[in-house]
Chain A
Amino acid sequence: MSFLRSKDETKPWKGSYAPYDLIKELCIAVGVIALLAVLLTVLFSSPDDKPSTIAPADFATTAATELAGTSGTAEYGPPYNHSSGSVQHFLLLHPQRWLGVSHPIDTAEDYVVKPLETIPNDPALGSALAEYKAASATQKQEWSAAYAKPLEEYAVAVEEKKTPPSTVSVDQSTGTVTVKASGAGPVGTMMTSLQALAQSGGLEGGLVSSSQFFQTDYTKPLLFMADGGLLGERAEGQHLLGEQWGLMNETGSYPGQPWLWLYALWYQVEPIKSSPNADIQVLLIMGLLSLAFICIPFIPGINSLPRKIPIYKLIWKEHYRELPGAEGTTRPRGT
């Protein structure tokens, strides 16, 4: 690495030494930092907003899109499925495609059919499921779309603050959504049962459980909730959206992750801000900047800037003030 030192005239220190107790300094520092952390804890505590649950409010709409294959997750692409809705690339780089489907999710099966199959002793549901499973893919799609259509119209009307269509009624006290959808075949019965399952709190368990008793992977319920609107609404109120620099924020007025400010910055800058490939662009930029950060000592111009902007004179002002007499007074040792 000698080429890296070609202009480096730094010589080993031949000057004086002062007594120093490294262990004592560390112990004092730990004590001070611990006290500071306790003080900040007493003053500000830490945020702990309860997690959202799969709630009835927009549940029916989300479940309908999962069954119809039109939800964000259904159209996402790798690593969940072979769609392409959220697949990003940069020039010839397609890492998301290259790494493939590692966490397969079939939204209709995983979010609707399989949880319904866990409900015992319901003949109406049993025959509805049998009819659904026996149908062709085209038929399934038609039924799902017919059921989803009035819910989408309802959601649009609510968003635009217009009178909602009479085909959808919501019982605010129980959160039960009733959908009058013609041409939906067995889907109406299935979705009514799914709502009941969700209201009983059984859906989260149905989504998390697998062939193993113990489970710690919440990918499916989290993606289901992200497909709905509740998480986003709550996040907006807590300034957590991307355009609110949410990447570095957390709930409340807590500092969050301010060290991510540079990541968050790129999402505010055009053309990245409106690009469908914003994430890969930001990560590639940050990857390059991180590499440059590591290599600062070896980058011409960047590594000589400290000599040109003499902040070092402030840092070592004591030393420079005493420089003429600095040739060994205390305990010369060499390095």
Chain B
Amino acid sequence: MSTGSGIPPIVSSKSWTVKVREKGVESLPPERLLPDGQPTYVASWIYVFGVASIASLVVIIGSGCILALKGPAWWHETGVGHFFNSIHLWSVELFFFAMVVHLWGKYWMAAWRGGRGRVWVTGAIVFLVAVPCALTGYVSQQNFDAQWISTQAKDAMNSVGVGSFFNLTNFGQMYSYHILLLPIAVVALVSLHVLLVRRNGVVPPIELEEKLKS
């Protein structure tokens, strides 16, 4: 409880807030969370695709927010709406492209080394969650693609029982998943992934055996 302006509060060791703060600062001190230096081995084009994935996600969310502001029918009726829909589509294509290259790069770097298993796991789950996020977008388009994709993909969902609670032909449900539930999951997972990267640092190069011997 603050006793007045400029006077620090009494720190209680039982305070949940204090515990969370101390744990947070211990795990991710500010200079590690937002570093101004990187190991010199972080010098390859492959590193571009990680940040490109996040940048694409930013553009996806930005264009998606503009589309959401005007509602799902807007982009069919106006040139401006169609323009932002196209931005949304192409940023999704760029997102998946960058993410796939990033994942392949990280695989060949064996980037899970040095206790970074969780970094890989969260990254892989981002990819897997992004797939239904995109699919719900395709079936929410309210055009022929949405009609065809929803009526075809429903069989796969129904075959494993998922269709009973995740109905691809229910526009309202799919739109909710697409603009709220799944984006929240993707952003949360990406955030966790990035925090884990910051906490563990970028994985060092695989040591060359011949160099080690020499």
Contact = CB atoms under 8 A, between A and B. Distances in A.
Contact of B108 (A12, A22, A309, A335): A309
B26 interface: no
Q: Which of A19, A99, A282 has the most CB of B within 10 A?
A: A99
B171 interface: yes
Contact of B170 (A218, A303, A335): A218
A79 B159 CA distance: 10
Contact of B124 (A46, A279, A284, A294): A294
B144 A52 contact: yes
Complex A-B, nearest 5 residue pairs according to Cβ-Cβ distance, in ascending order: A216-B172, A95-B161, A297-B112, A29-B55, A10-B114
B189 to A, nearest CB: 12
8 contacts: A40-B94, A86-B158, A99-B164, A231-B151, A234-B148, A296-B107, A309-B108, A316-B205
B112 A316 contact: no
B21 interface: no
A242 B152 contact: yes
Contacts of A326: 40
Interface string A220-237: 001101100001001100
A9 to B, nearest CB: 7
Interface string B80-121: 001101110111011010001000010111101111110011
Contact of A283 (B62, B96, B160): B160
B203 interface: yes
Interface in B172-211: 172-173, 175, 201, 203-208, 211
A162 interface: no
A29 B110 contact: no
Interface in A49-93: 49-52, 78-79, 86, 88
Nearest to B50: A29
Interface stretch (A120-128, A151-159, A317-325): A317-325
A33 B59 contact: yes
A327 B138 CA distance: 52
Given A37-B94, A45-B86, A95 B160 contact: yes
A277 B155 CA distance: 10
B149 to A, nearest CB: 8
B156 interface: yes
B55 A32 contact: yes
Nearest to A79: B164
Contact of B164 (A25, A78, A250): A78
Contact of B121 (A30, A34, A96, A294): A294
B108 A279 contact: no
Contact of B59 (A34, A45, A319, A333): A34
B204 A11 contact: yes
Interface string B54-71: 111011001100000000
Nearest to B156: A279
A220 B211 CA distance: 67
Nearest to A102: B164
The interface residues of chain B, by DSSP majority, are classed as helix
B138 A37 contact: no
Given A30-B58, A37-B90, 11 more contacts: A29-B48, A47-B143, A216-B175, A222-B150, A235-B148, A246-B148, A284-B160, A296-B107, A296-B112, A318-B41, A319-B40
Contacts of B112: 296-297, 303
Contacts of B55: 26, 29-30, 32-34
B102 to A, nearest CB: 12
A36 B94 contact: yes
B28 interface: no
Contacts of B159: 88, 95-96, 277, 279-280, 283
B39 interface: yes
Contacts of A203: none
B108 A311 contact: yes
A202 B37 CA distance: 66
Interface string A10-25: 1111011111111101
Contacts of B90: 36-37, 40-41, 44, 46
A171 interface: no
A140 B143 CA distance: 36
Contacts of A226: 151
B44 interface: yes
